[in-house]
Structure 1
Amino acid sequence: MNRLALPVLSAAQVAALLPDAPARVSWLGMGSDHHAFALDGARVVRLPRWPGGGEALRREARLLAWLAPRLEGAALPEVLHLGTASPLVPEGFSVARRVPGWSALGFALTDPVALGGGLGRWLADLHALNPQGSGLTVDLDPSGHDWRDAALDDLEAAAGAGVIPEVDAWAARVRALPYLRKVVPVPIHGDFAAEHVSLDGQGRLSGVLDWSDAALGDPARDLAGLIHWGDAALLAAARVAYPASGPSCGAVWERAAWYALCRALGDLAFGLTGGAAGGQEAYLRAGRRALDGLRVWWTNAPIPP
């Protein structure tokens, strides 16, 4: 079902929404669910792109307040203000303290081993949280059909634009659904990828952004972000740091590889739309880099018929 996107505001309109008067309002970019503006470089305004997005913002704010005292190792956005709905912003908006650091999307990694270890430990801590009181709800499709169908649509768009080779082989991989029916849901970020990770000046983990897709779900969805990164040293260090063990260890990483493929195809399709300001090429590069890493991952595994 197609949704009618909400209007995009100008920097001046965003400034007029705020109780104070920031000296500088600048466009940050557009994700799948929000538009974002920076306020004086210290705060971020997020405005839903779609009807119904206001409740997601409020739910995210409650979750971040719950997570902050329980999850260490990376700064989280601190929501300072939730703007009420008005004719200009029918879903409202949020204002949060900007997480320190720089986006890892397209960041040249200076110490991938240290970063991978930090990411693996941080995800292990998140996935081990007792979700009582978090407000998180289960988001787990045991059939995998939603992810498969979206990935095939993204593959078709990428193939039509000529930005992906080996279309039939990747389509076969997408259709080779992993076994999802016995997955035990845990707290997950839900959209754990480079664009939602902030790095400090030494290239180490400093913050994690955009919790609007957080849920009780398959931990492999977050681990997919580590594979999607496309850096072998980062992934190896993360796998050492993340305590996946026992008979299901291989299964969680195989599910993660499948989710990473779906994410890579989504990056290619999103990059074709020019999604984030100046970010079109960054998403295309990220998608291609992830596919390169997945080729290595599946080197010894035959493409399904």
Structure 2
Amino acid sequence: MAEWLGLGSDHHAFALDRARVLRLPRWPGGGEALRREARLLAWLTSWLGCAALPEVLHLGTASPLVPEGFSVARRVPGRSGLGVAVTDPVALGGELGRWLADLHALNPHESGLTVDLDPSGHDWRDAALDDLEAAAEVGVLPGADAWAARVRDIPDLRKVMPVPIHGDFAAEHVSLDGQGRLSGVLDWSDAALGDPARDLAGLIHWGDAALLAAARVAYPAAGQSCGAVWERAAWYALCRALGDLAFGLTGGVAGGQEAYLRAGRRALDGLRAWWTNAPMAP
């Protein structure tokens, strides 16, 4: 019998057993997204060997019960980094920084990735302001006006050079082994050719200063105009943190409501320190 793992923005996830995960799209068009993700994972696996990626074992066709089809993938070892205490943040930060550097340096030829850029930043801004309003209405976001001002202060996104990105890189999609080391990266449905700062935002969002410092040393951002890429990353991290608060309010993940609320608050605490201390590039 399948065990429900949770509800994401795009899929329902079920554990078929300890080794396999079933994913069912939530929205029209989700079946094609699953097939596109399967092709991408096959391509990525040939290039990224430092952490396990989900291996798609089977793609199910559409039927009356599953109109968008489904996928069955090999379960990535370890446990989600969401809400897990990091035992060695320096080591993990270095691993994450190097892993993102390898991903962002890939030649996207034959990847099937398409460009996903928002030079105006308006889509991110508007979604973040909606999330902010939802969180403020129920009292889980003190200082909402100040955060809203930060959201509206969109960094310059007009000259971004797109690279292969995960697109939703955050603790819940990073799998850690029993020693707290990187063991895999999940959920590639938002992968694209996009702004590397979107992935780097996940490092800031983690809310661990030592982890972030180690990742910044490991990630060679100079080729991306170092100060600018981290400025953008902080803004994306703010948008993501507000999204966590709003998502946590829905209780969309089994047992995960509080975990997302804590993650959002922890990210905001880290961002408050980030902007207060105005960190310089390593």
TM-score for the superposition, normalised by structure 2: 0.97
* Deviation of 1:163 (Å): 0.4
* Deviation of 1:247 (Å): 7.9
Rounded Cα–Cα distance in structure 2 between residues aligned with 1:100 and 1:71: 16
Rounded Cα–Cα distance in structure 1 between residues aligned with 2:140 and 2:22: 33
Aligned pairs (5 A) from 1:262-301: 262-300=239-277
CA deviation vs aligned residue, 1:177-210 (integer Å, no higher than 9, x gap): 0000000000000000000000001000000000
Task: Provide the secondary structure at the position in 2 that maps to 1:129.
Answer: coil
Which residue pairs with 1:25 in the alignment?
2
Give 1:154's match in structure 2, choosing from 116, 131, 134: 131
Rounded Cα–Cα distance in structure 2 between residues aligned with 1:46 and 1:193: 19
* Deviation of 1:286 (Å): 0.2
Count of residues in correspondence between the two structures:
278
CA deviation vs aligned residue, 1:93-122 (integer Å, no higher than 9, x gap): 000000000110001110010000000000
> Please, which moves more after superposition, 83-92 or 239-248?
239-248
- The residue type equivalent to 1:209 in the other structure is L
Residues 1:250 and 1:83: Cα distance change in structure 2 (over 3 Å)? same
Residues 1:36 and 1:86: Cα distance change in structure 2 (over 3 Å)? same
Q: Which runs of 4+ in 1 moved over 4 A?
A: none
Which residue pairs with 1:210 in the alignment?
187
Instruction: Report the structure number with the largest CA radius of gyration.
Output: 1
Rounded Cα–Cα distance in structure 1 between residues aligned with 2:138 and 2:61: 40
Task: Provide the secondary structure at the position in 1 that maps to 2:276.
Answer: coil
Is residue 215 of structure 2 the alignment partner of residue 238 of structure 1?
A: yes
Give 1:248's match in structure 2, choosing from 225, 229, 252: 225
Which residue pairs with 2:59 in the alignment?
82
Task: Provide the secondary structure at the position in 2 that maps to 1:57.
Answer: helix
Residue identity (%): 89
User: Unaligned 5+ residue runs, structure 2?
Assistant: none
Rounded Cα–Cα distance in structure 1 between residues aligned with 2:43 and 2:4: 29
Task: Provide the secondary structure at the position in 1 that maps to 2:15.
Answer: strand
CA deviation vs aligned residue, 1:46-92 (integer Å, no higher than 9, x gap): 00011111110000000000110101211000000000000010000
Which residue pairs with 1:6 in the alignment?
none
- The residue type equivalent to 1:237 in the other structure is A
Residues 1:247 and 1:53: Cα distance change in structure 2 (over 3 Å)? closer
Which residue pairs with 1:72 in the alignment?
49
* Deviation of 1:124 (Å): 0.1
TM-score for the superposition, normalised by structure 1: 0.90
Rounded Cα–Cα distance in structure 2 between residues aligned with 1:92 and 1:160: 37
Task: Provide the secondary structure at the position in 1 that maps to 2:14.
Answer: strand
Aligned CA-pair RMSD: 0.9
User: Unaligned 5+ residue runs, structure 1?
Assistant: 1-23
